[in-house]
Structure 1
Amino acid sequence: MGAFLGHATILLLWLARLTLAVKSVDVLSGGIATGIQEEEILRVLAQNKTDRSDNFTFIELIGSVSHQYNNSLNTDEIQSYVTNDKRTTNPYYDVYGEKIDLQARKFLQIVPTFDPGAGQVSQKCRRQAALFYEELKKFSLWALKMFDATAKMPSGLLNGNVNQLGDFDECLGVEGTQGIRGQYCLAYLQLDVEDSRPDLQQLHRLMHSHYAFRSNISDPGHRVPRFGTVNWAVCAPSGCNPRDVEASLRHTLAKHTEQTGLKITVKVDAEMCQVRRTEPLPTETLLVGFFFTAVVVLSIIAGLCDHYKVPASPAVLAFSLKRNVLKLISLERGEGDIATVHGIRALNAFMLILAHKSLALFFNPYTNRTEMTEYVGKPWTVIGRAASLYTDPFIMLSGLLTTYSFVGRLDKIGKLNVRNEYLSRLLRIVPTLGALILFCTYIMPFIGSGPQWNLVVTQHADICKRTWWRNFLFIHNYFGFENMCLTHTHHVGIDTQLFALSPLMVLAIYKKPKIGITVLTLVAMLSTVLRFYVTYFYRLNNYIFFGTSIRQLFDTANLSYILPSHRLTVYIIGVFVGYLLRKWPKSYKLNNTIIFIGWSLCILMAIGAFFGPAGMGSINYVYNPIHAATYNAFAPIGWCAIFIWMTFLSHTGNTDGWLSKVFAWKGFLITTRLSYAIYLTQFPVFFFNVGETRSAEYIGFIRMMLNVKELFWILGASIILTILFETPFQNLRNQYLKRKSLNQTTSKPLSHTANTMKEIKSD
């Protein structure tokens, strides 16, 4: 590998030489008897002392020099050679073949090219590779482009600049001899060093950025990046299948790594080899596109009918663009609204975006990746490492609001219509989720491209085509993180499963408060113990530390994080608080001492949950299962405690402090209406940008984390999803359930209602 990479460095120098040096220009200069000397090129360049607009282009430079030597090759011919990639061979080889052969021989002796036909490859691949090599020796433009598009040895290897994506678009644009087309393959290389070579191990650590994540070449890479492997782009003839590319690359590397102390494992996945798409869009994509277009048209027409008071069905007006936009931006609070809840959602939603973004960053190549990982080893980067923590308040709030609503209905009419509650829930979440799955499965794969596009976009779509039904049954979180359609929707499954159990919980504490509270407390404690035990026994970790393995992250998700039994603790806490808010006497005020003690304890618990594990993010941290188990068991409780206390004090009128006022700001009503869509759309936006990335860049951590353009697209996509799907179906839900409730109320005898209420009170 060392010799191979060294040759690649010489290649870059030689390409520069081809542009400026004596012999190399002969390819384009025609019958120049003496050649174009470097001094002569510099003399021509020296004439460029006028305004920038008068500077020579590369074509004009060659044309100017050629004219001075009465060269028969004019500028139009040069332009045609450089820009016309439809040619199958160098049109000037017949005239200057001897000089081209000499230059090519010297060039390929110094910088051996990657041979797609090396090793055990198919006959078709070997034949096309031979044609490629033959045309490369003739300096045919299509072969040079294929050679140029393949990744080269970069600078900054010890700063983590190991992932080389080549030139994706140049490769796919190649059209050569006998129907050869450019095929872009992103190969995975796993570099290992012998234990007896500590010198190489130190270099290996720097190249792999201190092993921020440890991964194997066989790990799934579509959800969590294979940080420990090297992504290396190869542009090969289209007749070579992925196995051919893998075999030839392995054969090439083996020649250069023999007796070097390096061992390189090569893997080329079929989905990571791409050619330019020429086939028409699939029928299902056209149908889904028509469906989305129809929804947009329906919303506009309904909005016009609403605006101009044209009679229309209530079902149609539910999609009114005007009505739904006004609902989205309305600052009116609903009856019984718990004001601080909206600020809590907004804060944790923003923190969750930052945490998810920090994970998406590790998919991309960076010229300073090692420097970046040293930077994220600082204690304050707990913000991004504690991603799991920010979903717990949503689960807690779900239990709180569900219980608050259910107890209100029980107090008012004496019973719960469980079927209506389930139907209401489904009408709220299914249409929006369904729209996202349709878009990500059938539309998104065709609206972009890039080196990692198939990994982070198309592969997710393929999984959804096979397993979408699990999402609509809300059981997808039981089939493994790596096999889940849109893995970030696991929270929807958890929350829906807990909601399905909520009537039992609420009725238990409503009918028999002492027994119900005792049983639910024991269940919450059992869930906490379960998190501790599983984390310790299976050596899991909910907190991302240096050296976390990809397998450990997936095991943590599958054995703990995505299971409702492990998230019951905070949900039950929410149930208790929702019940308490309904039953707390409005006139009863806590004394200042209790309030102070409550604030002190909750702040300490929140700080412990958030900053306590900061040391686990250190670059020198060694995994300790006790630390991991303690964090997974108790951090969710500590983080939710401060939000529970603030909500309780504010809603019961025990505080009117600045913190409560901030979280109760009316503007957060809008973010609450968008929160579900924001949760759903952020990963598709992140992965779209990852898939589109074509080259390494220098990362500034704050600038990359707070990507304004990305935040704009998340917000815009969330607004569209909310206005076109979530709000219209909420309107339909309200119309249907309100009409059904009125029918039930008018048909029910008043005496029966009075007797029912008496029975509930006496119970």
Structure 2
Amino acid sequence: MERLVVTLIVALKLSFFVILVSATPKTVDIIKSSNLNGLKDEEILEVLSQNKTGISDNFTLAELIDHIGNNTVNEVWRRNDENDTDSYTNSFYAQFTEEIDRESRHLLDFVPAYQPGTGPVSAECRRESEIFKQELQKFSLWALKMFDATAKIPSGILNGNVNQFGDFDECMGVQGNEGIQGQYCLAYLKLDIDESRPDLKHIHKLLHAHYAFKSNLTDPGHRVPRFGTVNWAVCTPASCSPQDVEASLRHTLAKHTARTGLKITVKVDAEMCQKKVKESYPTETKIASAFFLGVIALAMLATVYDHLGLVASEYLLSFSLKKNFKKLVSLERGEGDIAALHGVRALNAMMLIIAHKSMALFFNPYVNRTEMTEYLGKPWTVIGRAASLYTDPFIMLSGLLTTYSFIGRLNRTGKLDVKSEYLSRLLRLVPTLGALVLFCTYVMPFMGSGPQWNLVVTHHADICKKTWWRNFLFIHNYFGFENMCLTHTHHLGIDTQLFAVSPVIVLLLWKKPKFGAFLLASLAVFSTILRYNVTYDRQLNNYVFFGTSIKQLFDTANHSYILPTHRLTVYIIGIFTGYLLRNFPKNYKLNPVFIKAGWVVSTLMFIGAFVGPATMGSINYVYNPTHAAIYNAFSPIGWCILFAWMAFLSHTGNSNGILTRMFAWRGFLICTRLSYAIYLTQFPVFFYNVGMTRSAEYYGFLRMMLNIRELIWIVVTSIILTLLFDTPFQNIKNYLLRKSKASAIESSQNEKSKGE
């Protein structure tokens, strides 16, 4: 333990070493030339004081040297000739061998260097690591950069500042002797303590930010962060494989943790080791990019035809940006529009963005991560923890609108054209989904880089390359959350599967209302019982409580959250609401006492669903399967029942209060038209930013949650997706339906004329 403490204490910033060297007697500054005086402490401090960057932008040793050196020095330290391997070596070493050896010894004693060639590694890795070691002792610039880019033990560890990303770009740019290239690896460390040491338990708890999430090295980390593991960056020669890096790290850490109460487990995934690769874009990426450029060109051409009033095909004009933008911003309500539902959709879309953003934030490193979790361990954080609630109204709205539409057709014609309904559904969902899958799979991985880029962006793309077909069959929600292409689209699978059986259900309810209502009520009760039993028996929790494990979250998703049988209750609530809206006239007046009672009951259920589990967000909460089962079984009902009641009262003219008027605001029509695209694009935007993050930040709740730039990007990408794919194919769908209807009328008239 003493050795570990010493290691923690001596891990200071590299800049202090420079000050130490400049103050050491009888040493020679290795970077001075014949006309360069020795550096003074004041001069170095002046340079450091010029660093006006934020807390996450460290001034590295290499940058300091580049800043204070003159042109002659910079030329010496840089490689001048591609074929001259000596240019990678510090040319001053021969002149000041004794001094440089002494100074490098001081540095490496003061801040030990990670040696990737230690332990059972490959011969080539050991050879290049030995070259790195020799050049580092000579203070060759490329070796200093590799040393500098590797993470060091920082201050603030007890405030959760344990995730260290080093310097990604500095490492990726390293070029050294004999073709040595820098490789950036983000290793996963699992810190365990001797359970017989109570003195270490509190320290361990602070290191891991009070265990806000519990995780293991084997947990999937691409969708939910491995909060319980430490991310530690090392810069190594590119010849070292991930297995070499893991072996050398394990060997190095074992020396420092021997005879201490700390045990460190190491894992290095191949995808988390990155190096510069001079390769052209894959053919698939070029084709995908050409496709998107083609769609943009098609939209521009259609816009020109539309604007100039030129004769063109209806299919071409469907892509007109002018036409589609007018539709997007139009505040005119369609026939049979249920006004209050637009506000319901907007509210839950906003809450879903907050919840998803909260989860994405946990991927990033913070200098005050422990303080962050203490701040988030409050009851009010139910806003972000109750993410599952905010998708339930969308399922309810789907059941409501489907039933409302089907009952209307049945009342008019007495039959349903199921084939047309399915085709309409596919044209509504598939083109936009297909565009997103294509973009995230083949284009987005080449739009950035960063320490976690391969984890949260490239890894998703690799999954989609293998399993994209499941998304287009809408069965991807049955293959596990961790194996799903674009996991946030699980809702589409659930909704489409429920829609597929809705014609039978609605037809039964229309033909035999009493039997149909009884059957639906029985199915709703059965679904509720399913949620309760599976949650209790499998120890699941649909609420992200403080201290939940990653395994528990994935098990909850796979065994309950993404299964349509478990989401059937709210869909049936929507079916009943849609049926009542069609069968109750708009001027039907309810008893005022009944209205008040309905408001009281639905409001209490709503508050209970939202506020009831708040204590589970407490930092001191201990998991209780009964609490979890009750929440999973009844909270969806309580959350949705208020929205259903409000929609019913508003549509039948029984309520015109401030709440109803607010939800019926015409501006929410635009949100409704963008809601599908917003749902699809928010995670790619969130994870793009996670992947690009290069260093720890200071966590501030409002600043992080209300990231205006990020929200603007979500809105902009949603508008683009809507104008280029969603609305055009809705136009095509409407055109085909009109054409089919006109053809049917013409056929009917011909048959009638023949009969006469």
- Please tell me whether the aligned partners of residues 3 and 257 of structure 1 are also in contact (alpha carbons under 8 angstroms): no
Paired with 1:698 and 1:611, the residues of 2 have a C-alpha distance of: 29
Paired with 2:682 and 2:389, the residues of 1 have a C-alpha distance of: 17
Deviation at 1:173, TM superposition (A): 0.3
- Please tell me whether the aligned partners of residues 79 and 88 of structure 2 are also in contact (alpha carbons under 8 angstroms): no
Deviation at 1:112, TM superposition (A): 2.1
Deviation at 1:413, TM superposition (A): 1.5
| Aligned partner (choices 72, 78, 85) of residue 73 of structure 2 | 78
Match of 1:562 in 2: 562
Q: Any idea what SS the aligned residue of 1:28 has?
A: coil
Kindly tell me: are residues 459 and 37 of structure 1, through their superposed partners in 2, closer, same or farther at Cα, counting changes over 3 Å?
Answer: closer
Paired with 1:626 and 1:361, the residues of 2 have a C-alpha distance of: 29
Kindly tell me: are residues 697 and 18 of structure 1, through their superposed partners in 2, closer, same or farther at Cα, counting changes over 3 Å?
Answer: farther
Range with bigger deviation, 6-15 or 148-157: 6-15
Match of 2:640 in 1: 640
Deviation at 1:88, TM superposition (A): 1.3
Match of 2:593 in 1: 593
Paired with 2:64 and 2:173, the residues of 1 have a C-alpha distance of: 22
Q: Any idea what SS the aligned residue of 2:31 has?
A: helix
Deviations 1:584-606 (A, max 9, x none): 03332012111111111111000
Deviation at 1:184, TM superposition (A): 0.1
Match of 2:32 in 1: 29
Does residue 578 of structure 1 match 2:555? no
Deviation at 1:320, TM superposition (A): 0.7
CA RMSD, 1 decimal:
2.2
1:349-748 matches, cutoff 5 A: 349-748=349-748
Deviation at 1:645, TM superposition (A): 0.8
Paired with 2:284 and 2:459, the residues of 1 have a C-alpha distance of: 17
Does residue 308 of structure 1 match 2:308? yes
Deviations 1:501-528 (A, max 9, x none): 1101100100100110000100000000
Query: Which residue identity is paired with 1:288?
Result: A
Deviation at 1:343, TM superposition (A): 0.5
Query: Which residue identity is paired with 2:332?
Result: E
What is the total number of aligned residue pairs between the two structures?
Answer: 731
Kindly tell me: are residues 30 and 749 of structure 1, through their superposed partners in 2, closer, same or farther at Cα, counting changes over 3 Å?
Answer: closer
Paired with 1:469 and 1:350, the residues of 2 have a C-alpha distance of: 30
- Please tell me whether the aligned partners of residues 214 and 227 of structure 2 are also in contact (alpha carbons under 8 angstroms): yes
Kindly tell me: are residues 20 and 430 of structure 1, through their superposed partners in 2, closer, same or farther at Cα, counting changes over 3 Å?
Answer: farther
Deviation at 1:94, TM superposition (A): 2.1
- Please tell me whether the aligned partners of residues 3 and 256 of structure 1 are also in contact (alpha carbons under 8 angstroms): no
- Please tell me whether the aligned partners of residues 357 and 705 of structure 1 are also in contact (alpha carbons under 8 angstroms): yes
Give 5+ residue unaligned stretches, structure 2: 51-62
Deviation at 1:425, TM superposition (A): 0.2
Paired with 2:619 and 2:641, the residues of 1 have a C-alpha distance of: 30
Kindly tell me: are residues 360 and 19 of structure 1, through their superposed partners in 2, closer, same or farther at Cα, counting changes over 3 Å?
Answer: farther
Query: Which residue identity is paired with 2:266?
Result: V
1:67-146 matches, cutoff 5 A: 75-81=70-76, 87-146=87-146
Match of 1:188 in 2: 188
Kindly tell me: are residues 181 and 653 of structure 1, through their superposed partners in 2, closer, same or farther at Cα, counting changes over 3 Å?
Answer: same
Q: Any idea what SS the aligned residue of 1:184 has?
A: strand
Q: Any idea what SS the aligned residue of 1:93 has?
A: coil
- Please tell me whether the aligned partners of residues 19 and 41 of structure 2 are also in contact (alpha carbons under 8 angstroms): no
1:282-293 matches, cutoff 5 A: 282-293=282-293
Instruction: Name the % identity.
Output: 65
- Please tell me whether the aligned partners of residues 366 and 697 of structure 2 are also in contact (alpha carbons under 8 angstroms): yes
Kindly tell me: are residues 39 and 334 of structure 1, through their superposed partners in 2, closer, same or farther at Cα, counting changes over 3 Å?
Answer: closer
Deviation at 1:102, TM superposition (A): 1.9
Kindly tell me: are residues 705 and 715 of structure 1, through their superposed partners in 2, closer, same or farther at Cα, counting changes over 3 Å?
Answer: same
Deviation at 1:378, TM superposition (A): 1.0
Query: Which residue identity is paired with 1:503?
Result: P
Query: Which residue identity is paired with 1:602?
Result: S
Match of 1:266 in 2: 266
| Aligned partner (choices 16, 20, 27) of residue 17 of structure 1 | 20
Deviation at 1:295, TM superposition (A): 0.2
Deviations 1:297-324 (A, max 9, x none): 1001100100001111111111111111
Query: Which residue identity is paired with 2:114?
Result: F
Paired with 1:603 and 1:58, the residues of 2 have a C-alpha distance of: 62
Deviations 1:76-101 (A, max 9, x none): 21232456597411122222222212
Paired with 1:176 and 1:476, the residues of 2 have a C-alpha distance of: 47
Paired with 1:61 and 1:21, the residues of 2 have a C-alpha distance of: 22
Deviation at 1:277, TM superposition (A): 2.7
Paired with 1:3 and 1:126, the residues of 2 have a C-alpha distance of: 28
Deviations 1:470-526 (A, max 9, x none): 000000000000000000000000000000011011001001001100001000000
Paired with 2:287 and 2:532, the residues of 1 have a C-alpha distance of: 48
Paired with 1:571 and 1:410, the residues of 2 have a C-alpha distance of: 20
Paired with 1:306 and 1:424, the residues of 2 have a C-alpha distance of: 25
Paired with 2:66 and 2:739, the residues of 1 have a C-alpha distance of: 77
Paired with 1:42 and 1:404, the residues of 2 have a C-alpha distance of: 74
- Please tell me whether the aligned partners of residues 389 and 635 of structure 1 are also in contact (alpha carbons under 8 angstroms): yes
Paired with 1:751 and 1:732, the residues of 2 have a C-alpha distance of: 28
Paired with 1:516 and 1:685, the residues of 2 have a C-alpha distance of: 44
- Please tell me whether the aligned partners of residues 181 and 237 of structure 1 are also in contact (alpha carbons under 8 angstroms): yes
Kindly tell me: are residues 602 and 24 of structure 1, through their superposed partners in 2, closer, same or farther at Cα, counting changes over 3 Å?
Answer: farther
Paired with 1:470 and 1:517, the residues of 2 have a C-alpha distance of: 33
Paired with 1:616 and 1:323, the residues of 2 have a C-alpha distance of: 49
- Please tell me whether the aligned partners of residues 121 and 247 of structure 1 are also in contact (alpha carbons under 8 angstroms): yes
Q: Any idea what SS the aligned residue of 2:190 has?
A: strand
Deviations 1:396-417 (A, max 9, x none): 0000000000011111111100
Paired with 1:130 and 1:159, the residues of 2 have a C-alpha distance of: 36
Kindly tell me: are residues 332 and 561 of structure 1, through their superposed partners in 2, closer, same or farther at Cα, counting changes over 3 Å?
Answer: same
Deviation at 1:42, TM superposition (A): 8.3
Q: Any idea what SS the aligned residue of 2:187 has?
A: strand
Give 5+ residue unaligned stretches, structure 1: 49-56, 64-74, 753-763
Match of 2:56 in 1: none
Kindly tell me: are residues 128 and 39 of structure 1, through their superposed partners in 2, closer, same or farther at Cα, counting changes over 3 Å?
Answer: closer
Query: Which residue identity is paired with 1:424?
Result: S
Q: Any idea what SS the aligned residue of 1:117 has?
A: coil
Paired with 2:668 and 2:215, the residues of 1 have a C-alpha distance of: 40
TM-score, with structure 1 as normaliser:
0.93
- Please tell me whether the aligned partners of residues 88 and 142 of structure 1 are also in contact (alpha carbons under 8 angstroms): yes
Q: Any idea what SS the aligned residue of 1:306 has?
A: helix
Paired with 2:478 and 2:67, the residues of 1 have a C-alpha distance of: 65
Paired with 2:566 and 2:41, the residues of 1 have a C-alpha distance of: 75
Deviation at 1:637, TM superposition (A): 0.4
- Please tell me whether the aligned partners of residues 21 and 38 of structure 1 are also in contact (alpha carbons under 8 angstroms): no
